[in-house]
Amino acid sequence: MHKHVEWDDPGADSVMRHFQQDPGRYSDPGPGDILSARHEGAVVRVKVEAYVEGTSIGEVAAIISVDNGRRLKSHGKLALGDTVRLPDEFRALEPTLGEPEERREDD
């Protein structure tokens, strides 16, 4: 059973918008591919198990804070290992993540 997720609108980081200009470079995701989306402001990576009619079904492989790049075990009601459905329109390009504070101090 998969967990229902309200994905954030990817806006300018939309994968589908990116490939509108060059659709020949787009291909449907397949098993083992890692996709990104946004959920409540965090980056969520999903490892695809199946792709059906414009929706990827897979396991949450990572949840990453956009502010500092830290990996999280959970975020809101979403946790590592949850099975989710990710429609193509919510796929997002990876953002530039903030650097962890320890790194900033070294600069």
77 occurs within a structural domain: yes
Q: Tens of pLDDT along 56-94?
A: 999 999 999 988 889 999 998 999 999 999 999 999 988
Residues paired with residue 57 on neighbouring β-strands, in sequence order: 50, 85
Q: Could you tell me if residue 17 is inside a domain?
A: yes
SS3 state of residue 96? coil
- Number of domains making up the chain: 1
Q: Does 81 map to a domain? A: yes
Task: Give domain status of residue 104, yes or no.
Answer: no
Give a yes or no: residue 35 inside a domain. Answer: yes
Q: Report how far apart, in Å, the C-alpha atoms of 30 and of each of 14, 49, 104 are.
A: 19, 7, 37
And the tokens for 67? 């502010």
CATH number, domain of 51, equals 2.30.30
List, for residues 10-36, the tens digit of each pLDDT value: 888 888 777 777 766 677 899 999 999
Query: What is the residue type of 34?
Result: I
Say if pTM beats, i.e. exceeds, 0.85: no
Domain enclosing residue 38, as ranges: 11-95
In a domain, 3, yes or no: no
Residue 99, pLDDT above cutoff 70: no
- pLDDT of 102 reads 45
Is 19 a member of any domain?
yes
**Band of residue 104 on the pLDDT scale cut at 50, 70, 90:** very low
Tell me whether residue 100 is in a domain: no
Among residues 60, 89, 57, 86, which one has the least CA distance to residue 75? 60
The per-residue pLDDT for range 39-60, each reduced to its tens digit, is 999 999 999 999 999 999 999 9
> How would residue 101 be classed by pLDDT, with cut points 50, 70 and 90?
very low
